[in-house]
Structure 1
């Protein structure tokens, strides 16, 4: 433990890459740990148990991506428990409070990077924290074989959450832009001829706009839909699933067939308040696998693409980390993990050359451009309101300072000074947000708009040339 504490990112000394043998399979795990300091209940105890479960997992994991692992204390504890099977790791620093991302590996990490998303929430929403943690993509270049191309580039991320629901989601533009950035880094890795893994809590459901953007602009596949292409496109309450008319699946089916990592009935953190209180008092409840589960959905993913000259296929995929804490009896996180085994095969010549991305229908790019335009108008209005508030508070403060001269009593003067100080402080904050942050956000929107417009033009040219 002390040796690990000496350096947050560690690689076992004396590793000779020339002695590496190309593995025939990879076991990959992605888990949102729900490790919010001071907020997540039983945080350290739960993350310790996550470390123990990783250490005891069978088959042994080769690569693990963690999200919401916010503290180095928790990361180092997990590293200490798993160092015999995952001797290499990296804890990623980002934003004001940290990005909560970590990658553990069986093989050496040759290079790492932390790319922060240009569009990443709003500082005014301090109670949500996305802007303050600096969400982005944690990257690790991992060598698992002796040849030059025997590299897997791992990207771990956590996209902005849809706090307001799908129909009124004002953060949809941010999450879509983040999915676009994630698709770009994965595509670039594939173009370098390396194997690629995209892990994380994407806060999206299968075949949503962000999902389609990733699969179209990065030559990757979603491990779950490779094995179960007819799995659910969201919770049974979503419009996409209602349109399919399949009814409400059971809690067991949601785990086994649909890969529901979030809002499962089996997860104690999704239980009602009374059931959670009973659990804290030692009164446990068992969930019948046959009970309908209308809210369960899949938000966590493993995307992959093979390296040049090699084809990797999905041998199995499952929802993991469904066990309870042995003494607390609570779930280990408010999410379950996605776990998959990828096996190596020789690629055909066609597959060796298939690293180009595809394109979405023109209407989809138009939909994204319309969304950007709508959000742009919203932010420009917000900027005007904030700057107006700032100017108003400056005028009020000046008025209070002048009024102090004619104040008949010290008490009235004190109230005027207090009003001017508090009002001007709020106005300055709003002025900074409107003048600096919103301006920066609008510029990032312009970049996103250009890139989507450029992709639309390329898709149009491709459509024209195919006819």
Structure 2
């Protein structure tokens, strides 16, 4: 079945809706307002969402917009909740599946939650828009968040590995003749290593830059907040966003994208949307939405040309060095310290048992305190030991696999 949509034109919207339960402010009110506005302005063909983490929020969107977007899918994965990825479409959905990132932070950072939600890339295969059109593979992702600009809390290595995984998936669909579109909150600025991996290895083109030209970060910092949105495509940390009004003007950045295969798609428009405010509440999310309109070209097995060989080799070397450094510092020492904590807790517990035997004849009531102390020490040690031994080994192997894949790609390019 094919669906003629504006003579092969596809308009998509990607939006991080900031749907953290108990954390995001005015969550239900914002989601409801978004759904109503989306219903009243139904000019998008496909809507890709991130941070839809509660079923009640998804139900509100589907119930409000279901008659306009008959094809919907919310992806489920993770431990505590799903990855927060969802799609609404006027175009029939042919097939969907989810790929969870093997490198995705640490379970010890429970206060951040990225590992527990199971960050992933959701793949949706759409029916061709017209007879003979290139089939569309829509990849929707929300990569690991940075919690600092530098250091281990920046999770730069994690996002770089996730970009590498996405690039491998993109290559597979591109070679199969699909028009690939990668959308979502990639938590990576233009020019960063993950961004360059997706450009050089996945051969994807930034739809914003196709219309507005290359993003110059230093120039973006000097713009007014209005121009940062209009001319720079800033979707995050804008002072015009009520939930980020306390940020410095130079912190505004572009994290939300629609990256495309330009051999099968032609971008005709790109802009930042949902910048207005909900009366009495504020902005729709802590991000602004991003929309891109493109023409889907006829089916072709033509694949995009890779960038200069030296550029690709440089990206390979940078990624390998970053992963190797992470393995040497963060991964090894964190695992070793956690296992050491386990053995220390065991000896503390044994010591508490010996103390209990002695003090039980002098001050029996104090035995309870030493039992609680020993039990608490053993419980935390067991948990930390499991994280260090099981998760640490798992993450180390996943990182080593990335290094081996990059080495294979390097050998092919050099030979």
Same fold (TM over 0.5): yes
Local SS of the residue matching 2:121: strand
Shift of 1:403: 2.3
Unaligned runs of 5+ residues in structure 1 are 1-16, 234-240, 274-291, 462-467
Local SS of the residue matching 1:230: coil
Unaligned runs of 5+ residues in structure 2 are none
- Contact (CA 8 Å) 2:220, 2:232: kept in 1 or not? no
Local SS of the residue matching 2:137: strand
Shift of 1:184: 1.5
Local SS of the residue matching 2:107: coil
What is the aligned partner in structure 2 of residue 298 from structure 1?
254
Shift of 1:361: 4.0
- Contact (CA 8 Å) 2:8, 2:130: kept in 1 or not? no
Shift of 1:126: 0.5
Alignment of 1:21-36 (within 5 A): 21=4, 23-36=7-20
What is the aligned partner in structure 1 of residue 315 from structure 2?
364
What is the aligned partner in structure 2 of residue 464 from structure 1?
none
- Contact (CA 8 Å) 1:187, 1:357: kept in 2 or not? no
Local SS of the residue matching 1:110: strand
Cα distance in structure 2, aligned partners of 1:171 and 1:294: 22
Shift of 1:166: 3.8
Cα distance in structure 2, aligned partners of 1:167 and 1:209: 15
What is the aligned partner in structure 2 of residue 432 from structure 1?
386
What is the aligned partner in structure 1 of residue 272 from structure 2?
319
Change (3 A) 1:103 1:442: same
1:73 to 2:26 alignment: no
What is the aligned partner in structure 2 of residue 354 from structure 1?
303
Change (3 A) 1:442 1:148: farther
Change (3 A) 1:316 1:170: closer
Aligned residue pairs, count: 408
What is the aligned partner in structure 2 of residue 230 from structure 1?
214
What is the aligned partner in structure 1 of residue 295 from structure 2?
343
1:441 to 2:395 alignment: yes
Cα distance in structure 2, aligned partners of 1:74 and 1:117: 25
- Contact (CA 8 Å) 1:33, 1:332: kept in 2 or not? yes
Cα distance in structure 2, aligned partners of 1:246 and 1:123: 35
Shift of 1:319: 0.3
TM-score by length of 1: 0.83
What is the aligned partner in structure 1 of residue 325 from structure 2?
374
Shift of 1:167: 5.8
Shift of 1:207: 1.4
Q: Show CA shifts across 1:32-63 (max 9, x none).
A: 000101110100110111112222226x1111
1:386 to 2:335 alignment: no
Cα distance in structure 2, aligned partners of 1:166 and 1:361: 24
Greater Cα shift, 357-366 or 255-264? 357-366
Cα distance in structure 2, aligned partners of 1:256 and 1:148: 36
Residue from 162, 165, 171 that aligns with 1:181: 165
Shift of 1:271: 1.6
1:248 to 2:222 alignment: yes
- Contact (CA 8 Å) 2:125, 2:136: kept in 1 or not? yes
- Contact (CA 8 Å) 2:142, 2:184: kept in 1 or not? yes
Shift of 1:227: 1.0
Cα distance in structure 1, aligned partners of 2:261 and 2:86: 21
Local SS of the residue matching 1:379: helix
TM-score by length of 2: 0.93
Greater Cα shift, 423-432 or 148-157? 148-157
- RMSD over aligned CA atoms reads 2.1
Cα distance in structure 1, aligned partners of 2:152 and 2:396: 21
What is the aligned partner in structure 1 of residue 178 from structure 2?
194
What is the aligned partner in structure 1 of residue 371 from structure 2?
417
Cα distance in structure 1, aligned partners of 2:298 and 2:140: 27
What is the aligned partner in structure 2 of residue 400 from structure 1?
352
- Contact (CA 8 Å) 2:221, 2:249: kept in 1 or not? no
Cα distance in structure 2, aligned partners of 1:431 and 1:346: 55
